[in-house]
Amino acid sequence: MTRAWERAGPDRRIRFAVTAATVAVVAEVALTAAGLVAGLPPLLVWLPAVAGVVMAAQACLFAAADTHGALRRFWRRLAAGLAVIALAGCSQAVDVATAPQGVLPPMSQRTLLTYVAAVLVLALAVLRLPTGSRHWRHRLTEAQDIAIVMVAAAVAAAQYLRSFTDVSSGVPASWLNLGMLAIGAAGLIAVVKSMVAGHGLLARPVLWYGAAAGALGPLSVPMMSVLKPWPHLNGSAVVLPAAGLLFCLAVREQIRAAPAPRRSSGNLAKVGVRRDSYVPLVATTLTTGLLLTVYLRTGDLPPILLGGAAVLMMMVVARQAVALSGQAALLGRLAHQASHDTLTGLPNRRAFTAAIEDRVADGEDLTVLLLDINAFGAINDGLGAASGDALLRAYGERLLATAGAGALVARLGSDEFGLLAPAGRAGTLPEQVLTATRLPLEINGHDLLMETAIGVATAAAPQTGDVFRRAEVALRAASAAGGHRVVCYDTLLDQQSGTHARLAAELRHALDDGEFHLLYQPIIDLGSGHVTSVESLIRWQRADGRVVSPADFIPVAEETGLIVELGAWVIDTASAQAADWHDRHGPHAPKVAVNVSARQLLDPALPRTVAAALARHSLPPHRLTVELTETAVFGGGPALATVRALAELGVAIALDDFGTGHSSLSLLRTCPVDVLKVDKSFIDGLNGAPEQEAIAVALSGIATSLHLRTVAEGVETAAQADRLRDLGYHHAQGFHFSRPIPADAVDALLPAAEPAALR
């Protein structure tokens, strides 16, 4: 049978065990029923009894093989205890076979001690199983539960000693009584452990089945009394198969609960209060039933029973008082969690808006500040979620220190905070907050400079939705403007917000109707004056002839997500033009650069979009350059992975506005860069003091050392072009050479025509 057991799968094995134990119970019931009306061989009832226990021990060994750690030790101890019970059953069967006439039901001292040892092993297995929660209130209520059950058990034991001292046996009545009391105490320990174990390793039904099995032990004594007229039957034999079946059912629950046992609510465990406890109810109910039974049978209640019942009731009252205090603590914690942010401990959006409502109801004037941390996502991706969380906590603490008394600081969302203060502070508070948030925060060894957009709305006893909505409108304006700034609400912002919404709707139609086109700004070789590459720039001209500035529609496209589709159109159109120039001008054709936004870099499909455009137009990858800003890839993560995927296609990568973003030099080690486009702000300082040229010189030297190509942006004079050439720059672009022009105008600047003037 062992080999078949090992070959079977977990589900089949446990079904087989439960089925076999059920057959043993049915057989025992059938034999007992038959023995009530006819004689049977005395040993016959012991066959299903021992078989049921053996099957339960085998099931526990299977559970041990399927678990590890404390659970494996638990199931092994249960298997050992059941094996000893099976041994005790065999010993009692021997007692039956060898008992002298007149001693019924026979039980030797050896058998009784074996039963006691077995049940103590089972109780030890349950006691050694961890319960999980270590909160002081949980430990206190657990101790109270145990004490309540022990008092109830003492009351029951007193009555037991009075009622069952006349059961005949092979051992003295005192030995039998003490042994049965020990078995009953062990069973009670298992029951209490099952009731108080709500957060342990086992699912609750596992312990309940085990507790029920442990409680069957003391039932064998009254069964002996009941079956005394039938010497061929035995109370222990009747009880054992049922105990074996209950243990098999416990193993089945263990299999169903794997791999993760069900646990109670983590919030409840933190407070230390269990979801429910039936110990007081069960103990008082059973004790009351015992008192009522004794009174109905004898017409009197012994003083020991009355005294025990009184002590029990007082203990139950104390237990419930502790439980009620725990429930109050739980409710307070849940109320705090419902109104506060778990990360920072600050009030959340619900509490913030409720505070506005309360102050409005009191007729107070309000100042509402909404704050948003710029580029928080890049920092969170680049330094990790732990650093991002630490940043949010430190940022909230700084706001609290800056806001002072009388102000409410809340975390409203991922990187959005709110500040509510009296209207009298409207003039100074925004600038104070702006100054405070400009200072660096030290997070895990990094000094981080944060740019904060702040929207401010002030109103005298406003409508709740109005003041909050106005602050949101102001915040959107501050975020769209970029940088570290405060925007106060005025009615013009509402008009701009409406314009923004209309522009977002019109963008979709413009893309469908072909209202966009590309212009190209040449990049010049400073030595030869030839055009080596061009930067493609998108323009929007409406059907009615009106031109919409990129400064107006690009932020809207970014916010709505349409920038991804718009960017794909730019990549395809620029690639088609680059392929046309390559076909007509060969090696003298200019390379074409396209600008890619931070939002596009977060699109995992961008490399496929570029690869498809290259394949569609048969454009060699090195003829296309992807321009991006340092800020877009500073945080690493998905954006940097996208850039690396683009580089693997063979396209060139250019860093635009180099020198003005985050951590520029460290970025050169991680990002596969080919071209540095030096920002116009450094070019404007040429031909001035030596200090003004120092950065331009340093950037050129760094690029040369790293074998990168440099392009000077924003060249507006011949003097700047000459100075750049003297400083070692080879490429430049700007209005001095050409403004953005159509594709056919670029043809006029290619080598077939005169080189572009350097004057």
- Specify whether the CB–CB gap between 698 and 659 falls below 8 A: no
Q: Is 271 within 8 Å of 137 (Cβ atoms)?
A: yes
| Judgement on whether residues 582 and 682 belong to the same structural domain of the protein | yes
Question: Which residues does residue 408 pair with via DSSP β-bridges, in sequence order?
Answer: 420
Whether 175 is in a domain gets the answer yes
Question: Are the C-beta atoms of residues 617 and 576 closer than 8 Å to each other?
Answer: yes
Domain match, 217 and 270 both? yes
In this prediction, residue 479 carries a pLDDT of 79
Q: What is the predicted pLDDT for the residue at 103?
A: 53
Residue 674 confidence class, pLDDT cut points 50, 70, 90: very high
Instruction: Provide the number of structural domains found in the chain.
Output: 3
Q: Which of 180, 229, 471 is nearest to 352 (CA)?
A: 471
Same domain, residue pair 453 and 580: no
- Report the SS3 class of residue 313: helix
pLDDT the model gives residue 274: 44
Mean pLDDT over each residue of the chain, to the nearest integer: 79
Among 295, 326, 357, which residue terminates a domain?
Answer: 326
Q: How much is the pLDDT for 167? A: 46
Would residue 55 count as lying in a domain?
yes
Please indicate, yes or no, if residue 341 is contained in any of the structural domains: no
Model confidence pLDDT, tens digit, residues 25-36:
999 889 888 888
573: pLDDT strictly greater than 90? yes
Examine the domain organization and report whether 409 and 459 are in the same domain: yes
Residue 754 lies in a domain: no
Q: Are 304 and 373 members of one domain?
A: no
pLDDT tens, 365-421?
888 999 998 777 767 766 778 888 899 999 999 999 998 877 899 999 888 999 998
Confidence of residue 275 (pLDDT cuts 50, 70, 90): very low
509 lies in the same domain as 655: yes
State the residue range of the domain holding 364.
Answer: 349-489
CATH number of residue 726's parent domain:
3.20.20.450
- The length of the chain in residues reads 759
Residues 467 and 360 placed together within one structural domain of the fold: yes
- What pLDDT shows up at residue 68? 80
Mean pLDDT of 7-12: 61
Report the SS3 class of residue 21: helix
Cβ-Cβ contacts under 8 Å for 252 (sequence gap 6 or more): 14, 17, 18
| pLDDT tens per residue, range 43-66 | 888 899 899 999 999 888 888 887
In a domain? residue 689: yes
Amino acid (one-letter) located at 559: E
Do 397 and 522 share a domain, yes or no?
Answer: no
Q: What is the Cα–Cα distance from 543 to 517, expressed in whole angstroms?
A: 12
| Residue 332 belongs to a domain | no
Q: Is 50 domain-assigned?
A: yes
What is the distance between the alpha carbons of residues 455 and 480, in angstroms, rounded to a whole number?
A: 11
Domain boundary among 278, 293, 326: 326
Same domain assignment for residues 415 and 507 = no
Question: Do 192 and 90 share a domain, yes or no?
Answer: yes
Q: What are phi and psi of 575, to 5 degrees?
A: -65, -40
Q: Is the domain of 283 the same as that of 182?
A: yes
Q: Are 105 and 224 in contact (CB under 8 A)?
A: yes
pLDDT at 575: 96
Rounded mean pLDDT, 64-80: 84
Q: Which of 168-182, 239-253, 544-558, 641-655 has the highest mean pLDDT?
A: 641-655
Q: Over range 585-612, report the average pLDDT.
A: 90
CB 511 within 8 A of CB 491: no
What average pLDDT does this structure show over 650-673? Answer: 77
Same domain, 181 and 266: yes
CATH number at 447 reads: 3.30.70.270
Residue 340 included in any domain: no
Query: Mapping DSSP to helix (H, G, I), strand (E, B) and coil, where does residue 693 land?
Result: helix
Q: How far apart are CA 259 and CA 364, in angstroms?
A: 57
Token representation of residue 474: 């102001």
